[in-house]
Amino acid sequence: MAVKVKVTSVLQKVTGAKVVEGEGGTVGELLTNLDSAYPGFKQQIMQDGHLHRFVNIYLNDEDIRYLDQLDTRVKDGDTISILPALAGGSAQ
């Protein structure tokens, strides 16, 4: 099933687009599918099978850490957002 995935500018370097579509029954499967379409995708957000701790993934508006993490089920029409921490306050 196709799920919409929104990425921020940092990941757009890999996907080339702000919104991409992927296939999979869970968030983890979706990320694997996107990694095959956009090599390097997972490396930006995961290490050793775990999400980086400065990256959050939201299913619609809920953090998957509070759902079933990478096993969180996704369905057609869901939106996944991948959000890394930003540091900028632009003092420099």
Partner 1 sequence: MDHGHLHIDRATGVIDPETRRSPHASGPRAHTGGSVMPAVSVYIPTPFRKFTGNRQHVTAEGNDVAEVLANVDKQFPGFRALVFGSGTEVPRHINIYVNKTEIGSLDGVATKLAEGDEVAVIPAMAGGAGDEPRRRIGALTAEQVNRYSRHIIMPQVGPSGQRKIMESSVLIIGAGGLGSPIAVYLALAGIGKIGVVDFDVVDISNLQRQILHQNADIGKPKAISAKETINAYNPDVDVVTHEVPITSDNAFEIIAPYDYVINGADNFAARYLVNDACHFLKKPLIDGSILLFEGQVTVYLPGQGCYRCLYPSPPPPGLVPSCAEAGVLGALCGTVGTIQATEVLKLILGVGDSLNGRLLLYDALAMEFRQVRIRRDPHCVLCGDEPTVTELIDYEAFCGGAFGHTNEEEKKAMDAAKAAREKAQV
Pick out residues in 52-91 that bind partner 1 (CB under 8 A). 52-56, 58, 61-63, 65-66, 81, 83-91
**Min separation Cβ 22 and partner 1, Å:** 19
29 vs 84 by CB, closer to partner 1: 84
- Which stretch of DSSP H or E encloses residue 15? helix 9-15
The CA radius of gyration of the chain, in Å to the nearest whole number, is: 13
Closer to partner 1 at the Cβ: 49 or 89? 89
Encoded one letter per residue, x for contact with partner 1 by CB under 8 A and - for no contact, window 24-53 reads --------------------x-------xx
Give residue 24's region: left, alpha or beta (phi > 0; psi -120 to 50): left
Residue with tokens 């919104």, as numbered in its chain: 19
How far is residue 69's CA from residue 55's CA, in Å, rounded to a whole number?
Answer: 12
Query: Residue numbers of the site for partner 1 (CB under 8 A)?
Result: 8-10, 18, 44, 52-56, 58, 61-63, 65-66, 81, 83-92
